[in-house]
Amino acid sequence: MAIPRPAPEHRKWWAIGIVGVLVMSALAVWWGVSASKGLSWNNGPFTVVNDRSVRVTFYVNNQDGKPVRCTLEAQDINHSRVGVLTVDLPAHTFDTTEYTRTIPTVAKAVTGIVDECSYR
């Protein structure tokens, strides 16, 4: 059994649809590849030093030899922010670099995390 061909008046819409699918597929591939590159970070272990500070270890990936600024955050039991520290990190060419910083707090923290990092 042969597959029916589209009527001549529908060929234009088939062509537009095929081109649209190809363009959207190309955009999806581009977005996926670009999302996997660039600066990223991971939270590591933390230690509650006392009621006024928490020590946070974190890992910065893909610095590409550029200096980085990260904002660290200490949170209490209710996920409220009780301390913030902005740190300027030196340029590195390693794939992953480990850092440890101490965040001063206004109340006892139960966790310390990296809120964000960006190139300076």
Q: Are residues 102 and 69 in the same domain?
A: yes
Query: How many domains does the structure of the chain reveal?
Result: 2
Residue 120 confidence (pLDDT): 85
- pLDDT reading at 35 higher than 90: no
Confidence at residue 1, expressed as pLDDT on a 0 to 100 scale: 72
Q: What is the mean pLDDT of residues 98-104?
A: 96
Residue 89, pLDDT score: 94
36 — pLDDT class (breaks 50, 70, 90): low
In a domain, 2, yes or no: no
For the cut 90, the answer to whether the pLDDT of residue 67 exceeds it is yes
Distance between CA atoms of 4 and 1, rounded to whole angstroms? 9
Q: Are residues 65 and 102 in the same domain?
A: yes
Which domain does 34 fall in, by range? 9-38
* Residue 31 sits in the same domain as residue 72: no
Report the DSSP beta bridge partners of residue 73: 84, 113
- Report yes or no on 3 lying in a domain: no
Q: Name 78's Cβ contacts closer than 8 Å, sequence gap at least 6.
A: none
- Please give the pLDDT value at position 111: 95
Domain with residue 114: its CATH number is 2.60.40
pTM of the full structure: 0.68
Q: Are residues 24 and 48 in the same domain?
A: no
Looking at the structure, tell me whether residues 68 and 107 fall in a common domain.
yes
| Residue 4 is assigned to a structural domain of this protein | no
Question: Would 1 be classed as within a structural domain?
Answer: no
Answer whether residue 111 is part of any domain. yes
Calculate the CA 74 to chain-centre distance. 19
